[in-house]
Amino acid sequence: MSKHETPMTRWYWEKANRGRGLLIEEFGAIKRNEKRGHNKRHMDGVIVLGLKSGRRGPSEGDRKLVQGKKVIVIQSKARRLGMSLIGQVVVSRELLRNLKAKEVRSVGVCTEDDKILRRILRRFEGCSSVVYKPGKKKRS
* pLDDT, tens only, 83-100: 999 999 999 999 999 999
DSSP-assigned beta bridge partners for residue 42: 28
pLDDT of residue 79: 96
**Tens digits of residue pLDDT in 28-75:** 887 666 666 556 788 999 999 999 999 999 998 999 999 999 999 999
Rounded to whole angstroms, the Cα distance separating 1 from 55 reads 14
Confidence band for 140, pLDDT divided at 50, 70 and 90: low
CATH of the domain at 14: 3.40.1350.10
Give the count of domains, the chain.
Answer: 1
Which residue range(s) make up the domain with 116? 5-139
Predicted TM-score of the model (pTM)? 0.89
72 touches 46 (CB < 8 A): yes
Compute the distance between CA of residue 33 and CA of residue 40 in angstroms, rounded to an integer.
Answer: 8
